[in-house]
Chains A and B, each alone.
Chain A
Amino acid sequence: MTSPDQLAQYLFSGITIGSIYALIALGFTIIYNTTGIINFAQGEFVMLGGMCMVGCTHILRLPVPAGVLISVACVVVVGLLIERLSIRPAHGASVVTLIIITIGVSITLKALTAFITKDSFTYPPFPGPEHVRIFGASMPGQSLWIIGAACCIMVLLSLFFHFTIRGKAMRACAINREAAYIVGIDVETMSFLSFGLSALIGAVAGIMVTPTTQMAWYRGMDLGLKGFCAAILGGLGSSPGAVAGGLLLGLLETFGSFFVSGYKDAIAFALFLLVLFIRPRGITGRGR
């Protein structure tokens, strides 16, 4: 890491992957705030988003916008079905039980995808310049799409949470589910919605990240865990924290892999354990 060009290169690739982690972390945060559940199947939403898009581009040969819409819709339906079929029936279960259920969902989705295909896929980056030069760093055009999509989602989410009645109701659930229930908010519907919303964000992350890496049936768990690390880094339950945690994790991982290349995954988890032990409320101090 000698020249400033190289530094910029690392910085931008860190921000790119960090945006993906931030999106996944937001997915965790939304479900956790509304229902109190950590959805261990969050990473599978990302994987399914990528794989649906692969289906749309390779088999159906749809144009990009139609493919994105269809893939997101499919994953949202999966998310809603999960809530109805596995979370709702276990009403009143202890946290450990719910953790085990979402793990079950995660490996079932993984196995079902593996039934269909076990290959890794990718598709061409979305339309735009192939490479962009910023501050001497050369960024692939897809990075701009990723960062742009992440920014859009964050803006839309904060609008949703602050200016719509449903968004406000979900925030009320996050503050205190009991009180929300007492003032007449339908807590169950909010839980249903939170799974849909979280699946939507996960699907977008998966669709955007697939051209830069590859997508395969087993990628969900990695991505999901990184997203969870990001959520913890920022303080579980805090949306700005999730974004900050995602970006920080992306940067640390990119710069860290410069020094110890074989242990990229271990960096994220070592950091995660460190934060849990030293500052469990996250770097922003807003977590619960």
Chain B
Amino acid sequence: MVQGSPFTVQKLFMPGTGPRWLPYGVLILIVAAAPLVFSGRMSYYLSILSLAGIYAVVVIGLNMLMGYAGQISLGHAAFFAIGAYTSGILSTRYGLSPILCALPAVAAAGSVAVLIGIPTLKLKEHYLAMATLGFGIIMYTILRADPGSMTGGIQGMPNIPPLQILGHAADSDRAQYTIVWSTVILVFLFSTNILESRFGRALMAIHKSEVCAAVLGINVFGHKLQVFVLSALYAGFAGFLYAHCSPLKYLNPDDVAHVILSIKFVTMVVIGGMGNRWGALCGAVGLTVLPEVLRLMSSLLHGISSTDIEMACYGLILIMVMILSTRTRKRLLPIPAENTLTQHPIRQ
């Protein structure tokens, strides 16, 4: 794939062309060092990093869908919410041990994704964006309206039990951080392997041109559906982590299912440069830490709420990154070149 082309930074992250394990080693070192830095009174920051890790799982999945396959989903918070609520309901109302909830949570998100994906992925571009957005809003409405008196509606769902591992409850910030980030690393390696396989290359071909991909014998719809479901599985798993591994122990439709959360996930993918795995990871951490930075600076903001500034930042980031990326024809970080085959001739 890269043989014979000139050296790029990109090659460092590709198989067989350089010190492949170096970046992973650095990642593991950073992850392991964080609890040492943020110890004692500063362990609050670990809980923020845990949240970043949970979002990172969603973003890694969404990046496969958006960056690699070139599709768009504005409703990924819905799958996140399905995972979180399935796990929350099973563990509080049916007393299932939290760790056993992971499978049903992921399965629920996956099966909804199959049901939604089959009709939705036949649509393209605008229609796909709106259909996924519409699905996200329906999910949010259902969770708020609480038809079966299961989700607690607007009041939310309190007292979700923490994970039990070997008889110990993972209740501290540090334990949650360890669980979350070790799964993030596993998920990251897993998706790296998927993307560097035949499947990943097929996705990139679909992104370049669906017609070309189909001519090459790639089952376009099948691959789109698979990557959509896969990204939903990631989101469902992240939802499960959110339910049991965040210090809140509380689920609320506004926190887990809101449209703004879906847009936040898209922003995280976009800021990292769509199609860049490392970028997605950095985007997730960066944008989760951003509100904390804004909160620290709140004295400078003269009464403007930090959530509004956060929202404005997302908006400006989306606009700027997208404009820059089209103007320079590359993303902020070195990654495969932009889709040029399917563009309108006049707008080129």
The answer to whether A111 and B126 touch across the interface, beta carbons within 8 angstroms, is no
CB distance from A89 to the nearest CB of B (A): 5
Interface centre among A36, A106, A111 (most CB of B within 10 A): A111
CB distance from B69 to the nearest CB of A (A): 11
The answer to whether A266 and B325 touch across the interface, beta carbons within 8 angstroms, is no
The answer to whether B342 and A108 touch across the interface, beta carbons within 8 angstroms, is no
Q: Provide the A261-288 mask, 1 if CB < 8 A to any CB of B, else 0.
A: 0110110011011001100100000000
Instruction: Tell which of B35-43, B226-234, B312-320 binds the partner.
Output: B312-320
The answer to whether A111 and B327 touch across the interface, beta carbons within 8 angstroms, is no
Q: Which of B119, B260, B315, B316 contacts A273 (CB 8 A)?
A: B119
Does B129 sit within 8 A of A, measured CB to CB?
yes
Return chain A residues, CB-CB under 8 Å to B314. 104, 107
Residues 187 to 232 of chain A near chain B (Cβ within 8 Å): 187, 221, 225, 228-229, 232
Q: Which chain B residue has the least Cβ–Cβ distance from A108?
A: B315
Return chain A residues, CB-CB under 8 Å to B311. 107-108, 110-111, 114
Q: Which of A90, A118, A273, A280 contacts B322 (CB 8 A)?
A: A90
Residues 62 to 119 of chain A near chain B (Cβ within 8 Å): 86, 89-101, 103-112, 114-115, 118
Instruction: Tell which of B6-14, B136-144, B169-177 binds the partner.
Output: B136-144
Does B186 sit within 8 A of A, measured CB to CB?
no
Return chain A residues, CB-CB under 8 Å to B145. 262-263
CB distance from A74 to the nearest CB of B (A): 19
The secondary-structure label for the interface of chain B is: helix
CB distance from B68 to the nearest CB of A (A): 13
Return chain B residues, CB-CB under 8 Å to A92. 326, 343, 347-348
Return chain B residues, CB-CB under 8 Å to A93. 322, 326, 347
Return chain A residues, CB-CB under 8 Å to B131. 272-273, 276
The answer to whether B137 and A111 touch across the interface, beta carbons within 8 angstroms, is no
Q: Provide the B327-340 mask, 1 if CB < 8 A to any CB of A, else 0.
A: 10000000000110
Return chain B residues, CB-CB under 8 Å to A225. 130, 133-134, 137
The answer to whether A266 and B141 touch across the interface, beta carbons within 8 angstroms, is yes
**A111, B343: Cα distance in complex, Å:** 32
Q: Which of B137, B338, B339 contacts A269 (CB 8 A)?
A: B137
- By a beta-carbon cutoff of 8 Å, the part of chain B in contact with chain A is 66, 70, 72, 74, 119-120, 122-123, 125-127, 129-131, 133-135, 137-138, 141-142, 145, 259-260, 263, 266, 270, 304-305, 308-309, 311-312, 314-319, 322-323, 325-327, 338-339, 342-348
- By a beta-carbon cutoff of 8 Å, the part of chain A in contact with chain B is 36, 38, 40, 86, 89-101, 103-112, 114-115, 118, 177-178, 181, 187, 221, 225, 228-229, 232, 236, 262-263, 265-266, 269-270, 272-273, 276-277, 280
Of all A-B residue pairs in the complex, the 3 with the closest CB atoms, nearest first, are A104-B318, A108-B315, A111-B312
A-B contacts, 10 of them at CB < 8 A, read A92-B347, A93-B326, A94-B339, A96-B66, A107-B314, A110-B315, A225-B134, A232-B127, A269-B138, A276-B127
